[in-house]
Amino acid sequence: MTPANSGYQFLDHTGDLALMVRAPTLRELYGASAAALFDVILDIRTVEPRHEVPVHVHDAADEEDLLVRFLSELLFLHDARGWVFHACRVDELESDRFEGVALGEMFDPERHTILRQVKAVTYHHLLLHQDREGWSARLVLDL
């Protein structure tokens, strides 16, 4: 779930779309990143968290790779299976492994409008950083 002091902002980036996502904890950063990704695709206020879809990522090279692979898995579930997500819950998080669920529903053209097609979550200019205020991630999406 995304707490009130988490969020994201668009960054200037040529050709693609860059985001800076912030949250107090790394677990909350995953929820904020999922929400940001799907808010790029559609207005997530139209998505209801009706279903829990298991998400597993194992054997990541590092924390940055894990975040990209997590978001890529959500994008796969959207593209291949028709899911749209509102939030996620993290059950287990290690530097090379994610276990949790994405909360959302199947795409409904009566209620959901696709704003942008995201082709991929990239490693370009990827940054995952912790400071006194919490965690931040710079992500670049290939549109």
CA 135 to chain centre: 14
Domain count, the chain: 1
CATH of the domain at 61: 3.55.10.10
Instruction: Assess if residue 1 is contained within a domain.
Output: no
Instruction: Assess if residue 2 is contained within a domain.
Output: no
Could you tell me the residue range of the domain that residue 47 belongs to?
A: 7-142
Exposure string of 117-127, with b = 16+ CB inside 10 Å and e = fewer, is ebeebeeeeee
Tens of pLDDT, residue by residue, the chain (143 residues): 444 445 666 665 556 899 999 999 999 999 999 999 999 999 999 999 999 999 999 999 999 999 999 999 999 999 999 999 999 999 999 999 999 999 999 999 999 999 999 999 999 999 999 999 999 999 999 98
Instruction: Assess if residue 55 is contained within a domain.
Output: yes
